[in-house]
Structure 1
Amino acid sequence: MNANKVLIALCLLGSWMEPAASDMLDDPLLAQPVQLQEGATLPDSSRIDCASAVDFSHPLALTDAVDTALCNNPQIRATWAEIKMQSGVVGEARAAYLPTINGSVSRLKDTTTYSSGARQPSSTSIGNQYYGSLNWRLFDFGGRSANREAANEMLLAALAGHDAALQKTMASVIQSWFEAMTSQAVMDARQHIAQLAMQTLSVAQRRETKGATTQDDTLQAATALAKAQLNAIHARGDYQKNLALLKQAMGIDLTTDIHLPAQPEQVNPSDIHDLNQWLKQAESRHPAIAQARAKWQADKDKIIQVRSDGLPTLDMTAHISRNGFPNQGLSSLNQTDKDIGLTVSVPLFDGFSRHYKIQEAQAQAEQSEAQLEDTTAHILTDVVKAWADAKTALSVLSVSQQLLDAAQASVNSSRRRYDKNVADILEVLNAQSALADAQQQRIQAIAEWQSARLSLLANTGILGQLSATAQTRSQDIP
């Protein structure tokens, strides 16, 4: 095959591969991480389900709320796009190790015209001009290697940033879901107390009609009923507000009608384990720490890259041309030129620009290191706080049940005594007030335990759908 056919084949190959690259060579250098191929996963290996629609006519399960929020959150989509962008940077860094080949084919018409005094006839020639070139960097003192490593670290940082966005979104929607469910339980409890107050008022009115008591008992019972109804109205308002916050966290229309399951009356708390275990897991698994660590490593690689830019490079070049060179006229002879060689480029002086670029890169690495230390300290502090809150909530949980049982028994006893005319209305009302407080304490204790446990998982960076679901089902979370 002669030179003309080789050049034509190169040009045709390039024109054919350009439209087909997206189909056949979408990732020829294997720069995309597996997450882009298989989809993102949570720390418990569960996947985000955006395909199936949530039926809001049924009570909203926590997993459905989480899936909806993860599919609708714009920050998650932005971090996913960041992964794609950094994958492209990795591909560019890997492409620097490969040669670049260019080819061109030109159809030229060359016309030469002489002045009238030269007595030379004008001439015109038409022909094809072919040109091909190859450039390949062979050695550069580690610049490409450092650039590749920096790109890899930034890709890891992008992946960790996406995981951090997932964790943040999950923690937000889970917290909103529990707050809405807790406010619903408070509303139900307040309505129950209002019903008890109404029953007490009915008994007092009946006793007053029979002459067994005075009007004072009826007035006090009516006052207690009004107060209970007022508390029930406030509780309903809080529930509607928390429900709106949940819809906002899920990224759905605020006019969507959703229902929540009832708060469990009994929970089986799991062991919190030792604090040092949580701290070690947070330091090794939290995506925000991993992101800061990858950013620091990438900035350190950047120093090597900047330094190598001021060192010599070795390149191989090769050219082949037929009937002249590009942007020139046709050769008078039907000739072919070929050349191949090695080029050593030695930077001699750049006005001290490289010196200051190195200082800038070093300062950037120092800043990233400080950011890593600050991020780690902040997250570990949050883990300690969440662990302490979980410990406290675990202790309160059992006592709140004892308080509720005692208050319920006191109400039943005082109502029986009042019916038998051996207790006054104040005893009944005080017992009902104590029951309302006990119910509030119990609901709050359950909510604080669930919130503290999940907050501990979120601050450690291991929060997933399975752990959240297990918490709602009162199962042990390993």
Structure 2
Amino acid sequence: MKSPAPTPHASPLTPTMKQMNRSKPMKHPMPMKPESHLKQLKEITAVLFSLAIAGTMLPPASHAAMLDELTTPLADPLLAQPPVLVHGKPLPGDQEGLICSPGPTVLREPLSLADAIDLALCQHPQVQAAWAGIKVQAAQLGEARAAYLPSVNAGASQVRSKTSPAAGEGVRSTQSYYAALTWRLLDAGARAANRRAADALLEAAAAGHDATLQKAMANVIGLYFDAQSSQASEQARAQSEALARQVLETALKREQRGVGSRPETLQARTFVAKAELELGRARGQHQKALVALNLAMGAPVAGEEAQTLSLVPPTDDDLPALELDLREWLQTAREQHPAILAAQAQLDASREKVQATRAEGLPSVDLSAGQYINGRPNQSPGVRGERDTTVGVSLNIPLFDGFSRTYKVRGAQGQVELRQAELRDVQAQVQGDISTAYVEASAALRNLASSRRLLEAAQSSVDAISRKYDSGIADIVEMLNAQAALSDASQERIRTLSDWRSARLRLLANAGRMSRSVLATDAKP
């Protein structure tokens, strides 16, 4: 009784029942002799061995470059990379993208806000990571498109066997060659769903990069104006200290002439000490703000590459009013903000993954073809000169996988719910940031005129009391009070200007509308 034949599998090495297995060798116009095959095999082996030896002798960088050229001779054969990877990413309203110079950047003196933003967009690690994320998703899209194409494999082997003399055979050397093709013809939509998901993820990566740019610009804007305000505050404290020393000198002269008193001189010395203390604190705050700005720009804060920053001094020019009200800002953000667009694209990709996971458990049709000379790989050598050609179509029907597919679908559905929650969270966060920046900008805009009038009044009061004090009409208390009021008015003016410019530009960045052209027009140094 004969044993049952083994069940065939869908593979080019083991043809199915629908495959046609022709045992006779195919006719060729010019059949190649086994000696020619052996010669080709030796030549190929010699080339590969030479490349392996050369790779071990070359430096690691050259070895990696050589392997990259051998394994990926074409940069983008399926046109999966978006044009942004070639031409750069222009910001909203800009005509062209920012060109980053390789190598360390030398900071300009003094550093303007536009230069600080350019450095952040080129050097910040989060921006660079978002740019690399676009490349990763472009490669994933290429893999999804490659699923529609066939895969072709070829190989060669040489087997040398030796048997005992009793078997009537000595040493035998056999060379075998094969080529196999596999091509999925039909499926239940898994490849199409994976391709749509890859498209959505690429859009999410591009939008996420835009959101990272806007976030980096908003962060740099806030820290730049903090540093600029602390710089102006330090200068104002230095002026207050100089004025306090002048008051002390006047008090000493008045005491020497017998016009003033010892308590007045002590009060003036106390005021000088207080001014020195406030100046030291202002310098510390300014250095702290510069360190934070350096980190936001991606510049080193220590080591040989660290550079000392000096900022453009703030001007006292009022900027125009806000173009839109809060409701219009929020509506614009819902439609155009890159973070919201990225979260929506992630949600779309998750929904396509559900369809792809379901389709992977449905039937599919594959085409396979192969040609084998002198036997098949990983099998005993066949008869010399034997050719085996197979062509077949196989139908794969998944019947039972231990309910694994069920839980994969449930997991994909859970990812959809997770992305929906993340989308709502991003929308709430963006709307909150816009509302906060809008309120701050509106309040600072209303306070600009008041702070200017306060500073002008305090300066006039100091000038008037200084003349009276020099003439002996006013006492030291009036002079010190007027000087303290002037210092407070200067701080309020600096703070109000910084709050206005920072909140206005952060509002543009939080709404996803910040660009270098807008910055050049609106953000005056």
- TM-score norm. by structure 1 comes to 0.88
**C-alpha contact 1:46 1:466 (8 A) present in aligned 2:** no
- Alignment partner for residue 349 of structure 2, among 291, 298, 301? 298
The letter of the residue matching 2:135 is: K
Match of 1:455 among 500, 506, 509: 506
Check conservation: 1:129, 1:324, Cα contact below 8 A. yes
Q: 1:381 to 1:227 in 2, by over 3 A?
A: same
What does 1:200-279 correspond to in 2, within 5 Å? 200-250=247-297, 251-254=299-302, 256-279=307-330
Matched letter for residue 35 of structure 1: V
Residue 287 of structure 1 is aligned with which of 314, 330, 338?
338
* Residues 187-244 of structure 1: per-residue CA shift (max 9 Å, x gap): 1111112222222233333333334444443333333333222222221221122222
Q: What do you get for the CA RMSD once the two structures are aligned?
A: 3.0
Shift, 1:399, TM fit: 1.2
Alignment length, in residue pairs? 468
Match for residue 92 of structure 1 among 143, 147, 153: 143
Aligned to 1:71: 122
| Aligned residue number for residue 199 of structure 1 | 246
1:369-380 matched pairs, under 5 angstroms = 369-380=420-431
- Aligned partner of 1:35 in structure 2 is 84
In the alignment, structure 1 residue 172 sits paired with structure 2 residue 223: no
List runs of 5+ in structure 1 lacking aligned partners: none
Retained in 1: the 8 A contact 2:88–2:97? no
Of 197-206 and 390-399, the range deviating more from structure 2: 197-206
**Identity level (%):** 42
User: CA offset at residue 149 of structure 1?
Assistant: 1.1
Show structure 1 runs of 4+ deviating over 6 A. 7-12, 15-19
Paired letter, 1:26: A
CA distance in 1, matches of 2:163, 2:252: 122
- The answer to whether the 8 A contact 1:269-1:394 is kept is no
SS in structure 2 opposite 1:315?
strand
User: Hey, what's the Cα distance between the residues in 2 that align with 1:242 and 1:382?
Assistant: 22
Matched, 1:137 2:184: yes
The match for 2:481 is: 430
Q: What code does the residue aligned with 1:309 have? A: E
1:83 alignment partner AA: I
Matching residue of 1:153: 200
2:458 match: 407
The answer to whether the 8 Å contact 1:40/1:48 transfers is no
Instruction: Please state whether the residue corresponding to 2:378 is helix, strand or coil.
Output: coil
2-structure distance, mates of 1:4, 1:400: 96
In 1, Cα distance between equivalents of 2:384 and 2:106: 79
Shift of residue 54, structure 1, vs aligned partner: 4.3
Runs (5+) with no aligned partner, structure 2: 1-27, 52-65
In 2, Cα distance between the equivalents of 1:68 and 1:257?
Answer: 15
Cα deviation, residue 113, structure 1? 5.6
Deviates more, 1:420-429 or 1:338-347: 420-429
2:104, 2:373 → 1: CA distance? Answer: 63
TM superposition shift of 1:138: 0.9
TM-score by length of structure 2 reads 0.81
Q: Indicate if the aligned counterparts of 1:204 and 1:221 stay in contact, CA closer than 8 A.
A: yes
What displacement does 1:70 show? 3.5
8 Å Cα contact 2:174-2:384 kept in structure 1: no
Partner of 1:340: 391
Inter-partner Cα distance in structure 2 for 1:301 and 1:397? 52
CA contact (8 A) 1:93 1:147 kept: yes
Secondary structure at the residue paired with 1:106? strand
Measure, in 2, the Cα distance between the counterparts of 1:351 and 1:450. 62
Aligned to 2:497: 446
What does residue 377 of structure 2 align with?
A: 326
